[in-house]
Amino acid sequence: MELDARALAVLECLLRQADSVVPRASLIAEAWPGVDVVFDSAVSKVMRRLRVALGDPHGNVLQTIYGEGYRLALPATLLPPMPASPTLAQRPPGLRNGAAHGQATSRDGMPDPTSPTPKLQLVPDPGKDDAGIPRRGPRAAWLVWLPWTIAALATLLAGCLAWLLHRAGAG
């Protein structure tokens, strides 16, 4: 799926502030500069397009924080821009504009609109699951049940003591 300039601007804004809640107003300022009125539905549609493009239909990666904004729930590092490409005079013959980077160009040197655009792909962090939650090792899995086990044993012990005291008082 191809992303338009607005969707890319929203994604860039979310990447710059990864793992933080980005208010809807900040996204509007980035993706709709100079536009006086932007409806909430426009932002929602862009977020839906981004989720489809990222393969995130349930909003685990691009999370909606109701009443606050949106959050990219993946660790991300914004890299500095690539150095400027060499001028036409320095390029080998036959390589014009984006052709040096694998982008097809038309005869006038402009990018060819019929050529496929590169797909955006997020690489998951091996230490986290799909929702960005740190993975637990097999040894740590029992820690989830420890508080429940302690509470159940304490309840059972309290019940036994109450029964014994009741029985001793009745006897």
Mark whether 66 and 146 lie in a shared domain.
Answer: no
> Is it the case that residue 29 has pLDDT exceeding 70?
yes
Identify which of 82-86, 132-136, 146-150 has the greatest average pLDDT: 146-150
Nearest to 76 by CA among 14, 6, 9, 131: 14
**19, 56: one domain:** yes
Based on the fold, state whether residues 124 and 144 are members of the same structural domain.
no
Indicate the range of 4-8, 22-26, 78-82 predicted with least confidence.
78-82
Interval 52-74 mean pLDDT:
87
Contacts for 119-124: CB closer than 8 Å, 24+ residues apart? 120/3, 120/11, 120/53, 120/54, 122/54, 122/61, 122/74, 124/74
User: Is residue 87 assigned to a domain?
Assistant: no
Structure tokens at 127: 């230490």
> In the chain, how many domains are there?
2
Domain annotation covers residue 28: yes
Could you report the per-residue pLDDT of 95-109, keeping only the tens digit for each? Answer: 444 444 444 455 555
Q: Are residues 147 and 76 in the same domain?
A: no
Shared domain check, 155 and 77: no
Residue 41 has pLDDT above 80, yes or no: yes
Instruction: State which residues form the domain around 147.
Output: 138-170
- Kindly report the CATH number assigned to the domain that includes residue 21: 1.10.10.10
Do 73 and 150 share a structural domain? no
Residues 131 and 146 in one domain: no
pTM value is 0.47
Same domain as 3, residue 34: yes
Range in 34-43, 85-94, 160-169 the model is least confident about? 85-94
56 domain residue, yes or no: yes
**What is the per-residue pLDDT for 130?**
58
More confident residue, 130 or 63: 63
Whether residue 164 sits in one domain with residue 124: no
Q: Mean pLDDT of all residues in the chain?
A: 74
27 in the same domain as 9: yes
Cβ atoms within 10 Å of 115's Cβ, excluding its own: 13
Q: Are 127 and 58 in the same domain?
A: yes
* Mean pLDDT of all residues in 129-142: 58
Same domain, yes or no, for 125 and 49?
yes
